[in-house]
Structure 1
Amino acid sequence: MSRHTPPAIAFAVAMAGIAVFSCMDALMKGLTLEIGTYNTLLWRSFAGAAIAAMPHFRRRPGWPAASVLAIHVRRGAVATVMAVTFFWGLARVPMAQAVALTFIAPLIALFLAAWLLKERIDRSAILASLIALAGVATILAGQARAELGEGALLGAISILFSAVCYAYNIILMRRQALVADGREVAFYQNIMVGLFLALAAPWLAVVPDAVHLPALAGAALLATISLFLLTWAYGRAEASYLAPVEYTAFIWASILGYLVFGEHVGAFTVAGAMLIAGGCLLAARRKPVPMGNLEGAQ
């Protein structure tokens, strides 16, 4: 992989990956409300594996090395838990609030990157995350005044647990991106999640009606594109540098939540979004540190 890509380009590509992923979230929320969390994730994963298999196997790849396969399996397991808990919660709270709750993940990932990947965290990265975190607090203060309905508290707890998993997923994404390209990552991510979910298929799996197939295929395609973009970006910039880009998901969630589900965005939400955007701009402008030592990170 090239290590000469300007960091601002990697940051922009990561932002595009988050935007695509947010569109997938909107499709997934609708599907989850109609056919349930488990079946939505199961069939989307297998559809995604089929889509990702075409570019992956077109180049006739060999079987991945044992160490690389171990990373694929580990990230697949983490992604399975992360996805189930997030989409279960997403069906119970507005998109903007759900995404806001996940914003603890990049903050945790900054420190995990220092611990697991030996990356140095400079003051501007910490400041950028604190600014964005202040935006999240502002949003939650506004959301606390809204009536979210029965089950919202459990949904919020589920999403917070998913966010912790996602923090570790960011670190695994960085490791994975250094040893595999986007096509390989997209294929193995989908197939691993599908296989882990399939363990419960005898009890939970239901073949979806044909009316849901376009949305499932669309969600799978968007997830695959997002995985490719994020893998490309994380293969060319450090996790601590790219982690704040996750905050841009709130802006997309606010727009899509309003357009698709009629979820209104108030003054607290707008103020919080401005803080989040400010933190991301600060992170994008800072000078990234050199590639860290990855020994012992596998």
Structure 2
Amino acid sequence: MTRHSPTSATAFAVASIGIASYSVMDAVMKGMSIAHGAYSAVLWRSVAGVVLMLPIFLARRRPWPGREAIILHASRGIVAGASVLLFFWGLVRVPIAQGVALTFLAPLIALFLAAAMLGETIRRAAIGGSIIASLGVLAIAAGQWQAQASTETVLGSVAIVVASILYAGSLILLRRQAQIADPLEVALFTSIVLAALLMLGAPWFSAIPGIALLPGIFGSAVLGSVSAVLLAWAYRHAEAQVLAPVEYTAFLWSAILGYVVFGEYVTAWTVAGAILIIGGCLFAIRGPAAPAPQTEAAA
């Protein structure tokens, strides 16, 4: 398979739709997190995801995941779950576009995690890209300083940066996960693990949702599930470095949704920071992409 093969182009297009769906879900989840708290919003969205996907999974009569797959599902569910919870906690405190711009660090961080977890070589470009992206983070921080941001806003930004690190780890696990499980299984078990973990703290941090909250819960679950399935399919058919740039389309979606839904304006500092972070990531992954492995599952 070459870099410009139809499979790579199709995977990129599918991932783009997945990112658009996830951006709309971000807006829905921010609204619910503001009204009911991030913990409750993430918990009940995960439960709704299980309710929606489990009947489909069972109806297909596919074999139950083996031990290796269960361990991988649980590992990624924990990492991705912590990332999601921190992200929406932070998103309540910062504009959507700014929060999404900070998550663009994830693909770059993933390059370094791939070196640590998969033994890949860290290229000079990755080091240079990290320096450029760091300037982007500083630009966003400078914007907050100039605007005399509150402590809550600063803490929200820090939470999103930590969420980005965890999300980068989940991307590495997703690539491994997608090679041994189909997209529906990946999305379902991520929701199962997250819902099970958050249920442990539900008596203290959440409550049974009211009827008025159900449309938002199931709407975000549908959007999140569709996005997860599409991204899992895309990562199954193309290398992470091919798909990493598609993450950046989320900035445009978040800027539009933030303005339309929450009346948020994108500052010049945020735009400058996003450009530097995106530029750093693109600099780090420049060069020919390796072809996706041809496995029996991906055929």
- Mark yes or no: TM-score above 0.5: yes
Q: Report if the CA contact (8 A) 1:119-1:291 is conserved.
A: no
Percent identity of the aligned residues?
A: 50
How many residue pairs end up in the alignment?
291
> Contact conserved, 1:103 with 1:133, CA < 8 A, in 2?
no
Q: Would the aligned equivalents of 1:128 and 1:244 in 2 still touch at CA under 8 Å?
A: no
Call closer, same or farther: CA 1:124–1:19 in 2, change over 3 Å. Answer: farther
Partner SS state of residue 27, structure 1: helix
Unaligned runs of 5+ in 2: none
Q: Which residue matches 1:114?
A: 115
2:135 and 2:7 map into 1 onto residues whose CA distance is 29
> 1:260 — aligned with what?
261
Contact 1:135 1:274 in 2 (8 A): yes
Partner of 2:39: 38
Deviates more, 1:193-202 or 1:120-129: 120-129
**Which amino acid counterpart does residue 20 of structure 2 have in structure 1?**
A
Q: TM-score, normalised by structure 2?
A: 0.85
CA change 1:250–1:91 in 2 (3 A) is: same
| Superposed displacement of residue 86, structure 1 | 1.2
For residues 231-250 of structure 1, the aligned pairs below 5 Å read 231-250=232-251
- Give 5+ residue unaligned stretches, structure 1: none
In structure 2, do the counterparts of structure 1 residues 138 and 12 end up closer, same or farther at CA, with 3 Å as the change threshold?
A: farther
How far off its partner does 1:139 sit? 4.2
Task: Give the structure 2 partner of residue 25 of structure 1.
Answer: 26
**Superposition CA RMSD, Å:** 2.9
The one-letter code matched in structure 1 to 2:290 is V
Label 1:275 to 1:164 Cα distance change in 2 as closer, same or farther (>3 A): closer
Kindly state the Cα deviation for residue 131 of structure 1 after the two structures are TM-superposed. 5.9
CA gap of 1:121–1:249, structure 2 versus 1, over 3 A, is: farther
Q: Equivalents in 2 of 1:250, 1:130: separation in Å?
A: 21
Structure 1 residue matching 2:237: 3-state secondary structure: coil
Offset of residue 85 of structure 1 = 1.3
Indicate whether 1:64 and 2:52 are aligned.
no
Rounded to whole Å, the distance in 1 between the matches of 2:278 and 2:158 is: 25
Match of 2:209 in 1: 208
Rate the CA distance shift 1:41–1:225 in 2: closer, same or farther, 3 A. Answer: same
- Structure 1 residues 209-255: Cα deviation after superposition (integer angstroms, max 9, x where no partner): 21111011111011101101110111122223333432332222211
Matches within 5 A, 1:1-298: 6-119=7-120, 135-274=136-275, 286-291=287-292
Shift of 1:50: 1.3
- Post-superposition CA distance 1:241-277 (Å, at most 9, x none): 3334323322222111111111101333344455566
Q: Indicate how the Cα distance of structure 1 residues 133 and 60 shifts in structure 2: closer, same or farther if over 3 A, else same.
A: farther
Kept in 2, the 8 Å contact 1:89–1:154? The answer is yes
Measured in 2, the distance between the counterparts of 1:99 and 1:22 equals 9
- Mapped contact 1:110–1:243 kept (Cα < 8 A): no
Structure 2 CA distance for partners of 1:189 and 1:203, relative to 1, 3 Å:
same
| Mapped partners of 2:246, 2:139: distance in 1 | 18
Once the 2 structures are TM-superposed, how far is the Cα of residue 109 of structure 1 from its aligned partner?
Answer: 0.2
